[in-house]
Structure 1
Amino acid sequence: MTNPRSGGGKPARYGLVQRAEDMGAQVWMTSADEDAASLARYAVQEGAQVLGVAGGDGTVSAVAAVAADAGRSLVVVPAGTRNHFARDLGLDVCDPAQALGALVDGEPARVDLGVLGPRVFVNNVSFGMYADALLEPGYREDKKRAFAAVAPDYLKGKQWVEACVDTPWGTVEFPQVVLISNNPYHLATPGWLGRRFSLSTGLLGGIVLKRPTETPPDLLRHLRSELRRHERGLGPAGEGAVLWSASGITLHGDVRHLDAGIDGEAVTLPLPVMCGIRPGALRVLLPKDRPGIPPERVPGRPGALRAGGNG
């Protein structure tokens, strides 16, 4: 399955369709009438034992849900803009075609999937500033402008998430930002900020930024302070950020719906929102020739995904 619009037309630019067909794969393109999930279900009905997907995190998550439910292996080709999931699988996001090698002699690995009701997410679910930016007209064409449009009210404490979030240290009311990730992000090392060195911990990562008590708020200072406490196993200091890992995270409140982003796609979700995780739910095939995950010298790095160890 290929989303021809992903990454500003990456599938065509890298000749992914022709290369996949040359390797014996049958390729279907998404369209206004047929989305990635529908095509993946059709492929399973036709007897496909391995599913492949070329696109960004939103397209990948749609096909990953079908692959996991059908017990099929998945080949991920990073043809989106950010490619967070593919990057954290250790794939070469600068050369999407390299991932096609998994169709021939892919190495198997098991990874987790985040879940939100019937939905699956491979990267994250977000509420607040990022989710609002997704709703800005022209977000795909100019993301910096979209963030600039929504950021001021959040930074001034005039805008927040109309919900409460349960954390191990109590409920945070009306936070600025909530980010729930499929496995926790690494935040200790600037060069690897936002990476996931493991996709098989069986835990969600939670990040909550509280409403500021200062103007403008020093969010980075709060995040670094909370990170140091988190790494030492201490509870939050009560400042601007809360970080934790859990098998489930819930948002609740009095409003009926919340705007959110699921793997970069804008959605509206009814409350309460209950996120969970399916450990080892997805079997992926990885090319032998790939950059892999960051080196062992990265401080605070947990155990990383090992291809073939859980196949």
Structure 2
Amino acid sequence: MGAVMAGARTRAQVVIVTNPRSGGGKTARHSLVRRAEDMGAQVWMTSAERDAASLARNAVEEGAQVLGVAGGDGTVSAVAAVAADEGRPLVVVPAGTRNHFARDLGLDLRDPGRALDALVDGEPAQVDLGVLGSRVFVNNVSFGMYADALLEPGYREDKPRAFATVAPDYLKGKQWVEARVDTPMGTVEFPQVVLVSNNPYHLATPRWLGRRFSLTTGELGAIVLKRPAQAPPDLLRHLHGELRQHKRGASLPDDGLVVWSAPGITLHGDVRHLDAGVDGEAVRLPLPVVCGIRPGALRVLLPKGRPRIPPEHSVRH
């Protein structure tokens, strides 16, 4: 599908699901509901009774030909899963806190409403989706310190305090992930941190640290930290210092870190469940945990005037 001309379609044909709490209320601050409705879309808000996935499914049942989502990565992944399964294009509006997926699509994070221009002059593109069993993730799945911090009361209101609460035991090597991970450098038992991303993160240069230059490689990125972490909570910046003189896919001299990419990554263990963070949402997963990827599974509509960060890279059209 090419451009979605707002004037040529009825309100029911475009439904944007929004989480009004995401990003501390970005939907309201940026007048996203009014801007979307002015362009001919309906806006459906999540609530305690209606989650993003059920709203998206209901929208498709009621005839929506285009789905939109305004929120953080957790809300985006829920709607993206429905869009991919139902063959509907998705318009992503960066209305969360971090907006990793929207950022790596090249969208303007400073003005979320600019993403709505895709309803008028949208350029279609195909991107990959990470999968965790039947669950989709657009950014990453984390195990260890970061997943534990998500479980702390008041995490979203005070993230530094949450990390400060869980970090000491990891720093001292008294806490770890109760699992084994097969890596190119052999099996790692009881790592400190496991991070699996939908396409690999860039770690080579500080300016683009943690960005994904491509969402179409068909591979997951994996980072396993074996020894006690030294610089939480900014894992990627810490890894940049570790990796500057080492090639991707190789461990450090003391075998403290392994970074690689693969179409599938599995965590095994003797416990029944692992706590994890999936696109910033705390979940409990049964073992084994099998992460995979669906190449080109999601069709997105992108505004022509987006920043494209960095400009020399983009998603596949």
Gap runs ≥5 in structure 1: 297-303
CA pair 254-108 structure 1, distance change in 2 beyond 3 A: same
Q: CA deviation at 1:9?
A: 0.6
* 1:242–1:227 Cα change, 3 Å: farther
Whole-Å separation in 2 of the counterparts to 1:35 and 1:125: 20
* Equivalent pair of 1:56/1:80 in contact (CA under 8 Å): yes
The aligned residue for residue 244 of structure 1 is 260
User: SS of the counterpart of 1:72?
Assistant: coil
- The yes-or-no answer on 1:305 pairing with 2:297 is no
On the 8 A contact 2:142/2:194 being kept in 1, the answer is yes
Q: Which residue of 1 aligns with 2:246?
A: 229
Corresponding residue for 1:299?
none
| Pairing of 1:244-283 with structure 2 (within 5 A) | 244-283=260-299
What do the CA deviations read for 1:81-111 (whole angstroms, capped 9, x no partner)? Answer: 0000000000011110110100111011100
Root-mean-square deviation (CA, aligned residues, Å) is 2.0
Q: Name the amino acid aligned to 1:56.
A: G
Amino acid at match of 1:48: A
Match in the other structure for 2:7: none
Aligned residue number for residue 186 of structure 1:
202
Q: Aligned letter for 2:314?
A: L
Distance, in Å, in 2 between the alignment partners of 1:55 and 1:305 is 22
- The one-letter amino acid of 1:230's match is K
Partners of 2:196 and 2:222 within 8 A in 1: yes
CA, structure 1 residues 141+222, in 2 after alignment: closer, same or farther (shift >3 Å)? closer
Alignment of 1:83-102 (within 5 A): 83-102=99-118
Post-superposition offset of 1:190: 1.1
Deviations 1:278-310 (A, max 9, x none): 0000000001111112144xxxxxxx3345x2x
Which residue identity lines up with residue 247 of structure 2 in the other structure?
Answer: H
How many Å separate the matches in 2 of 1:213 and 1:37? Answer: 35
The 1:215–1:131 alpha-carbon spacing in structure 2 relative to 1, beyond 3 Å, is closer
| 2:3 counterpart residue number | none
What count of residue pairs does the alignment treat as equivalent?
298
- The residue type equivalent to 2:246 in the other structure is R
The answer for the alignment partner of 1:79 in structure 2 is 95
Residues 170 and 62 of structure 1: is their aligned pair in 2 closer, same or farther, counting only changes over 3 Å? same
1:171 lines up with 2:187 in the alignment: yes
Residue ranges of structure 2 left out of the alignment (5+ in a row): 1-16
Q: Would you identify which runs of 4 or more consecutive aligned residues in structure 1 move more than 2 Å?
A: 211-216, 219-231, 233-239, 304-307
The Cα of 1:235 is off from its aligned counterpart by: 5.4
State the alpha-carbon separation in 1 of the partners of residues 41 and 229 from structure 2. Answer: 56
Query: Quick one: distance in 1 between partners of 2:208 and 2:83?
Result: 29
Partner of residue 152, structure 1: 168
